[in-house]
Amino acid sequence: MRVLQVYNQQRSERGGEERVVLDTVTLLKQGGVDVELYMVTSRGLEERFTSKIKAAGSGIYSFVSYRGVRDAVERFHPDIVHVHNVYPLLSPSVFVACMDVGVPAVFSAHNQVLTCPTWHHLYKGSVCERCLGGKEYWCIRQNCRDNLLESSAYALRSAVARKRDLFRKNVTLFIAMSHFMEERLAKYGVPPDRIAFVPNMVNIPKPPMGPSRSDYVGFAGRLSPEKGIGLLLEAARNLPMVPFRIAGDGPLYSTLKSSAPTNVTFEGLLFNDELSDFYRGARMVVIPSVSYETAPLVALEALAHRVPLVCSRIGALPEVAVDGITGRLFDAGDSAQMTGVIEELWSDPVATARMGHEGWRLVQSKHTQEEAFARLVDAYGRAATLQSSAI
């Protein structure tokens, strides 16, 4: 089997989405699949105004990307093209290229790009779905990007994709990495037989460390508004005797660091063994997101290290942070409720150890590399069958 992986690399360095893409390439190669990666990068676009203008146009429909992917297909002759992200440089034109040459296109829905111009369904700290049903103009009215030009560009590219039905008409099979995303894709109008459930995989480290012997509350992820990190700092202020450590970078890094209480330490970006050590040292990992999480890789990584979760009750988080089993849930945006849950778990090492073990069992049963490979190959087979039946 030959698979062409297509990805528009995002601005954040080694974010969860990018790690999933690169790990997928490695997994397939290890399984004997012939894989090639076609990738463009968005890094540096925010630094140049002319680049932003170019990206705004290419996001609507990129003839350059159409030609690039079509050329790659005609040269590599893949059985499947697996697309992970198309904005802002690739655009849905890559799906049209696949359709025109008769190769099935599989699309992994890593985010809410099909239903929200800015991907997060977030406005002023709360979930927003005003753009649903062909009302992308709300993105402009609310200036969701805090930049009218960017908000307009995001709204326009979403409206064009919806009106021309560029995703549903040209994607053979959609991949959902959570049951939550299965429901969201169905809400978008994707038929059930064109949705495959392929949960994210995670490496299971050895030997694990029990969270009862760990000494801080951890957070790992992008420091951006949708992650709710400001709420976590509020909880830290209310628990001055509990140490908090934050791993990651993002647009809010400087602001958060300058306003954080003294019991919060910022670790910056951590990779590989550093990140593994970070998880091992945490008594719990908090994910205080205020917008829909579609398939949180951080949650799986924490559980793989036998560290329980404290998560917002939103999106796909309850699928991995099973309340009272692998962690605890609180209402999204409720800092006081989150504070109470953290305080309760901090003082109960027996409960954290039990939940950590149950989380480790969860990833062992549903999120291994073997399970991911089997589901991916099955999804590719389904895509090929769908393509054949449509001819």
CA distance 222 to 99: 35
**Are 305 and 361 within one domain?**
yes
Task: Decide if 117 contacts 134 (C-beta within 8 A).
Answer: no
Q: Where in the sequence is the domain holding 372, given as residue range(s)?
A: 2-114+167-201+368-390
Q: How many domains does the chain have?
A: 2
**Are 271 and 238 within one domain?**
yes
**Are 54 and 183 within one domain?**
yes
Indicate the pTM of the whole model: 0.93
Q: What is the Cα 262 distance to its own chain's centre?
A: 30
In a domain? residue 9? yes
| Residue 208 confidence (pLDDT) above 60 | no
Task: Decide if 216 contacts 281 (C-beta within 8 A).
Answer: yes
In a domain? residue 147? no
Strands 216-220 and 195-197: unpaired
| SS3 assignment, position 97 | helix
Query: DSSP assignment, residue 323?
Result: B
For 125, residues 6+ apart whose C-beta sits below 8 A from its C-beta are 225, 290, 333
Task: Decide if 56 contacts 25 (C-beta within 8 A).
Answer: no
Dihedral, CA atoms, 229, 233, 234, 239, nearest 10 degrees? 140
For 45, residues 6+ apart whose C-beta sits below 8 A from its C-beta are 11, 51, 52, 55, 88
Strands 327-330 and 309-312: parallel
Summarised one tens digit per residue, pLDDT across range 292-307 is: 999 999 999 999 999 9
In Å, how far are 216, 317, 336 from 346, measured between CA atoms? Answer: 9, 21, 15
**Are 360 and 376 within one domain?**
no
Task: Decide if 245 contacts 216 (C-beta within 8 A).
Answer: yes
**Are 241 and 375 within one domain?**
no
CATH number of domain containing 246:
3.40.50.2000
Summarised one tens digit per residue, pLDDT across range 344-360 is: 999 999 999 999 999 99
| Residue 339 confidence (pLDDT) above 50 | yes
Q: What share of the chain is helix, strand, coil (3-state, %, to 5)?
A: 45, 15, 35
**Are 281 and 304 within one domain?**
yes
- Strand 34-41's sheet: what is its strand order? 34-41, 2-9, 80-85, 105-108, 173-176, 195-197
Buried b (16+ CB within 10 A) or exposed e, 41-63: ebeebeeeeeebebbbebbbbbe
Tokens found for residue 318: 């309850």
β-sheet bridge partners, residue 246: 219, 266
Summarised one tens digit per residue, pLDDT across range 314-332 is: 999 999 999 999 999 999 9
pLDDT at residue 388 in the model = 81
**Are 91 and 25 within one domain?**
yes
Strands 126-127 and 122-123: antiparallel
In a domain? residue 6? yes
Summarised one tens digit per residue, pLDDT across range 137-177 is: 999 999 999 999 999 999 999 999 999 999 999 999 999 99
Tokens found for residue 253: 């890094």
Per-residue confidence band for 129, with pLDDT thresholds at 50, 70 and 90: very high
